[in-house]
Structure 1
Amino acid sequence: MSSNFSFQHQARCSHTQARAGIFSTPHGLVETPRFMPVGTLANVKTVTPQQLKATGAQMVLANTYHLHLQPGEEIVEQAGGLHRFMGWDGPILTDSGGFQVFSLSEIRTIAEEGVTFRSPRDGQTIHFTPERSIQIQNALGADVIMAFDECPPYPASWDAVKAATDRTYRWLERCFAAHQRDDQALFPIVQGGVYPDLRHDAAKALAQVEAHGYAIGGVSVGEPAEMIEMIVKTTAPLLPANKPRYLMGVGTHREMVQAIAAGVDLFDCVIPTRLARHGNALVKGVRWNLKNNRFRKDFTPLDEQCPCYTCQTFTRAYLSHLLHAHEVLGATLISIHNITELVHFTQRIRAAILGDRFLEEFGHWLAEGSRE
C-alpha cells in the first residue's frame, strides 16, 4: 500500500460508532467527519476556489463521466491535472461514472464488459469499462478515485440487485488491475440496494480487499429515508475501522448524523449549491425560500451565528433582492452560506466527538421525526 495515504483515529463516541480522525492525502489533510462539496465539472457551481476555501471545505469532488465529455481528460492532464486546472490545491475525489449508470439509464446499456452511453451532447457512443474509468481518473489526477460500479435503481428486485452487486465486485478486480498511480487512492464501493443480506455480503467481501478507504454507494436513489438509515447501519460497521468510510451522495443534517453514529467519516452532496440556485438557504438544517415576501424587508443576517462571508456582510433583504432581480450574485452568496452550513455542521460534530459530547449535542437529530 502507498505511504501517500493514512487514516489516524483520534477519538470515538462512548455510546455510538461515531469517530473523529485525520485522513492524510498527497494534497493535504481531511479532518473527519467532514462534508465535501461537489464540483462536477471541476468547479463548485458559482463559487471560486478562494471562496470555497473560506467555507472550511477541505476536500472537493469532480465527476469522471462529465469531465470526459467536457473538456476531456487529455486537456486536464496537459494542464497539469485537476488541481492546477481548477485552481484547488486541497484534496480532490473523482467519482467513477458509476452513478451515471443509474442516473442516465435511458441512454445506456450494461454488459459484463462495461457500459455504453449515448452522449447527451451529440448522440455519439461512449464506452465506459472499469479499465477506461480508471484510465480517465489516472489522467485527471485526483487524490482519491472510485471503482467503477453498477448502481442499481430503487425499486429493483433482489435478483437484479444481486446481479449488479456481483458485477460491481468483478469490475473492482479489473479496476485494481488497471490502476497505475500510487499517489491516488482507489476506493471500492459497497452496493446491495435495500437488501441487508446483499449489503452484508458485499461489505464483508470488500473488507477483505486491501484499500486506503471504502465507500457506501447506491443510496439516496429514491428509497425512503428510513431505508437509508438501515443500509448505513448494516454496512458501515462491517468496513475496516482503520480506514475512512465514505457515504456517497448524502448531505442532509439528519442523514449525516445517523451515518456518523454508525461510523461514517466522509459525505458529499449537491444540495448546498443546487438549493442556492433555486433561492433556498439552509439555516440550522431548515430550508428557507428567500424569495418569500417575508424576507423583502428583513434587514438581519441570514444566520447571526454563521461565520460565512454572506452572513457577516449581507442581510436577508439583500439576498431576496438579488433573487428577485435574477442576479447571479444571489446564487453565489447563498452557495457560500449553504456550503459553510454543512461543513461547519460536520466540524461541530467532530468537536463533539473529540469531547465525547456527540449524543448530548446531536442526539436530537437521531430522534424519530427529526426532518429537514
Structure 2
Amino acid sequence: MPQAERRERIFDGAVQESKPENEKMKFAVKAWSKSGRARVGLLQLSSSFAQGGPPAKEIEIETPALLLTTRKGLPAFISPDHLSSLPSPDSRLLQFSPMHFMEGPNSNTISTIGGVHQLLGLPDYGFIALPRDSILSLPECSSSNKHGASFETPCGRFLVKPLEYMKMISSMKPDLWVSLADEVHASVTVKRNKASVDRTIRWLDDCISLKSTDGALFGSIVGGSSIEERQHCAQEVAKRNVSGFYLGGFGLGDNVDERSKLLHAVTDLLPKEKPRQVCGLGLPEEVLQGVAAGIDLFDSMYIYHLTLGGFALIFPLDGKCKQVWDSQQIAMGSDGTKINLKATIYRKDTSRIVDGCICYTCQNHTKAYINHLLNVHEMLAQILLEIHNTHHYLCFFRVIREAIREGRFAELRHTFIENRRDYLLAASLGSRVL
C-alpha cells in the first residue's frame, strides 16, 4: 500500500498508524508589530484519549508564550495542585525531554498507562517533547556521530538514534514533538557544522518515516554561527511535512550581538502560518530579541536557574526598570530585574516580593520568611520562589503580546533595554563609591 495512503511502523510488537500531521494542532497569526517580525498568534491543541479515558481536551494558548520547563513532566518545584494557581491558560504548555525518563518507567509501561498525560494525571495540559532542555539534557556534539545525537543527562551520556528516539515519542504521546537534531557549539569547525546540518535533515526524514503518533511535528533547524548553513537547513526543513519549526543551537556559545542576524536569517525563510520554537533564550532581553525576530515559543530554564540561586524577579511589567539607589541593594549586586533573597537585608523585611503581585507566594508570604527558608535549606523556599518567578514571567509575556497588538513592541523593547543599561551603570558607579 502506498506510503501516502497508510504508514505503519511496528514498535515493540504494537502496530500503530500515523494520522494527519495537523490533527492535534492549529496555529494562526492574529496581529503583527507595526514594523518588524514580532507577532501575536493563537496555538490550539486538541486530542482525544482512548475509549474509557478522560474526554478530549481543548487548549488555546496565545503566543509569544512561555513553555514551562519540567523534570520528567512536572516543573522542578511546583506540584500539580499548585499548577492551577498560575495564570491560565498561559501555564498549560509543559516542555519535557524523553531523556529524563531513561531511568524511570520504560517505554512499554508509559505507553500502556496512556502516555505522559495519563502518567502525570494532567489530561488538560499540553506537552511538548524535545531532546534538549538546557538544564538536564544537554547536547554533547563531540560524541555525536552519523548514527545519532549524544546527550549529557543525570543518568550519564547517551547516544540516541532516530529509531530509539521515535520509540520514546511513540510511547509518550506528546501533543507536539521536535525532531532529533545534532546541535553543536558555536565554536565548532565549518566541516563539523555542515555535518550537523546534513545529519539533522537526514534524521528529520527518518523521524517522518518512523512517525507513529498523532502529535504535531516541529522540524529542527541548526547551523551554528553560520548564516548560510542555517538558511540552507531552514529551506530544507520547510520543504518537509512539518507543523512548526524548532530553532536549535542557541545558548551554546553563540554571540549575543550576532544572534539577531541568525534568527532573522532563518525566520525570513519560514512560512508565516507555522509556529517557531527556540531553546536557550531565557533572559528578558533575549526573549525580546527572539520575539522581535518572530519567535513564538520559549523555554523557562531561566526561571529554574533563578530559583536555584535564591533569586526573585522584581522588574516592573511595563518594561521600565526602577532606579533603586539604595546602597544596600547595590552592595548585594541587584541588577534591577531580580533580588537575592538569601541576603541578610531581607531577614526582617516583612514586605511582599512585589507589591501588587497576585501570585500565591506574594499573597501569603514575606521576603523575611523566604529568606529564613533559604538559610535553613528548606525546600519550601524553592517552591515559593518558583511559583512567583513563573507567575511574574508569564505576566511579562502577556505584556509583550499586549504591546504587539497596540503597536508598542519596539518601544517596550527599547525602554526595557535602555533602562536596564542605565540601572546597571548607576549600580556600577554606586558600588565604586561604597
TM-score computed with the length of structure 1 as normaliser: 0.91
Q: How does 1:91-240 map to 2 (within 5 A)?
A: 91-96=126-131, 103=138, 105=140, 109-115=143-149, 121=155, 127-182=159-214, 184-240=215-271
CA 100–364 in structure 1, closer or farther in 2 if over 3 Å, else same: closer
Give the aligned partner of residue 302 of structure 2: 271
Distance 1:98 1:348 in 2: 25
Offset, 1:229: 2.9
State the partner residue of 1:80: 114
The yes-or-no answer on 1:281 pairing with 2:312 is yes
Q: Distance in 1 between matches of 2:138 and 2:132?
A: 10
Change (3 A) 1:191 1:7: same
Task: State the 1:126 CA deviation.
Answer: 5.2
Shifted more, 48-57 versus 319-328: the winner is 48-57
* Mapped contact 1:251–1:269 kept (Cα < 8 A): yes
Give the Cα separation in 2 of the matches to 1:118 and 1:367.
37
CA distance in 1, matches of 2:359, 2:126: 21
Please say if residues 161 and 192 of structure 1, whose CA atoms lie closer than 8 Å, have aligned partners that are also in contact.
Answer: yes
C-alpha contact (below 8 Å) 1:189/1:215 kept by paired residues: yes
Q: 1:232-311 to 2 correspondence within 5 Å? A: 232-284=263-315, 286-311=337-362
Conserved in 2, the CA contact under 8 Å of 1:102 and 1:151?
Answer: no
Specify the SS of the correspondent of 1:267. strand
The 1-side partners of 2:118 and 2:164 are apart by: 23
Amino acid at match of 1:153: H
Q: Which runs of 5+ in 2 are unaligned?
A: 1-20, 47-56, 316-335, 425-434
- Matched AA of 2:359: C
In structure 2, do the counterparts of structure 1 residues 367 and 230 end up closer, same or farther at CA, with 3 Å as the change threshold?
farther
* Larger deviation, residues 50-59 vs 39-48: 50-59
Preserved contact between residue 101 and residue 150 of structure 1 (Cα < 8 Å) = no
Kept in 1, the 8 Å contact 2:139–2:184? The answer is no
Go from structure 1 to structure 2 and tell me whether the alpha carbon gap of 1:8 and 1:293 turns closer, same or farther (over 3 Å shift).
Answer: same
Conserved? CA contact 1:258–1:366, under 8 Å: no
Q: Counterpart in 2 of 1:31? A: 62
The residue correspondences of 1:52-63 to structure 2 (distance < 5 A) are 52-56=83-87, 57-63=91-97
Alignment of 1:64 with 2:98, yes or no, is yes
Relative contact order: is structure 1 or structure 2 higher (C-alpha 8 Å, sep ≥ 6)?
A: 1
Hey, what's the Cα distance between the residues in 1 that align with 2:398 and 2:154?
Answer: 38
Q: Tell me, yes or no, if structure 1 residue 90 matches structure 2 residue 125.
A: yes
Q: 1:109 Cα shift? A: 3.3
**CA–CA separation in structure 1 for the residues paired with 2:190 and 2:119:** 43
Tell me whether 1:350 sits opposite 2:378 in the alignment.
no
Shift of 1:102: 8.3
| TM-score in terms of structure 2 length | 0.79
Distance 1:114 1:99, change over 3 A: farther
Give the greater-gyration-radius structure (CA): 2
In the alignment, is the contact (CA less than 8 A) between 2:132 and 2:138 conserved in 1?
no
2:328 alignment partner in structure 1: none
Supply the distance in 1 between the matched residues of 2:153 and 2:287 (Cα, whole angstroms). Answer: 34
Taking structure 1 as reference, are residues 115 and 203 closer, same or farther at Cα in structure 2, changes over 3 Å only?
closer
> What is the Cα deviation at residue 269 of structure 1?
3.0
Opposite residue 257 of structure 1, the aligned amino acid is L
Paired residue for 2:33, among 9, 13, 16? 13
Q: CA deviation at 1:326?
A: 1.0
> 1: distance between equivalents of 2:281 and 2:245?
15
CA distance in structure 2 between the partners assigned to 1:246 and 1:37 by the alignment: 13
1-structure distance, mates of 2:267, 2:39: 12
Measured in 1, the distance between the counterparts of 2:399 and 2:412 equals 9
Q: Could you give the per-residue CA deviations for residues 273-315 of structure 1, whole angstroms, max 9, x where no partner exists?
A: 2321221112217132111111111111101132211112211
Q: Is the 8 A contact 2:29 2:273 kept in 1?
A: yes
Identity of aligned residues (%): 27
The answer to whether the 8 A contact 1:102-1:152 is kept is no
Counterparts in 2 of 1:140 and 1:278: CA distance versus 1, 3 Å = same
- What is the distance in 2 between the residues matched to 1:330 and 1:295? 14
Say if 1:99 and 1:150, in contact at 8 Å, map to a contact too. Answer: no
Q: CA 1:345–1:224 in structure 2 vs 1: closer, same or farther (change >3 Å)?
A: same
Q: For residue 113 of structure 1, what is the amino acid of its counterpart?
A: H
Q: How many residue pairs get matched?
A: 368
Please state how far the C-alpha of 1:204 moved relative to its aligned partner: 1.8
Amino acid at match of 1:342: Y
Unaligned residue ranges in structure 1 (runs of 5+): none
